[in-house]
């Protein structure tokens, strides 16, 4: 099993709006792709910056799942976030193997 981790630092002034969008729109769209089995969203507590930071962890079974997601779905989903929140966030993505 693997985790696709997306960490986002979002400006505090729009963090509540973004969080609502993530929980009601974005995460359901990601899960509807069928590539992931579950997700967890966590607030990162040990950061000193001007935003609020969240880690969303999507679990998947095999590497072809993430490869297909990144090729066929991620560009569209990431573009939607960019349009809505451009200049208001920083994101980075990591792949983790559950051992």
> Model confidence over 22-56: pLDDT tens digits?
999 999 999 999 999 999 999 999 876 778 999 99
31 backbone dihedrals φ, ψ, rounded to 5°:
-65, -35
pLDDT beyond 90 at 68: yes
Q: pTM for this structure? A: 0.92
Q: In the predicted model, what is the mean pLDDT of the chain? A: 95
Helices (H), the chain: 15-21, 27-32, 63-72, 74-85
CATH code of residue 10: 3.30.70.100
Number of domains in the chain: 1
Query: Are residues 28 and 80 in contact, defined by beta-carbon separation less than 8 angstroms?
Result: no
Domain that holds residue 49: 2-97
């Amino acid at each position: 099993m693997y985790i696709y981790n997306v960490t986002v630092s979002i400006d505090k002034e729009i963090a509540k709006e973004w969080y609502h969008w993530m929980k009601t729109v974005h995460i359901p769209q990601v899960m509807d792709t069928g590539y992931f089995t579950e997700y967890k969203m966590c607030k990162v507590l040990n950061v000193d910056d001007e935003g609020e930071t969240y880690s969303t962890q999507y679990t998947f079974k095999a590497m072809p799942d993430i490869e297909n997601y990144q090729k066929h779905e991620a560009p569209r989903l990431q573009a939607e976030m960019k349009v809505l929140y451009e200049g208001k966030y920083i994101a980075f993505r990591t792949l983790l193997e559950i051992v």
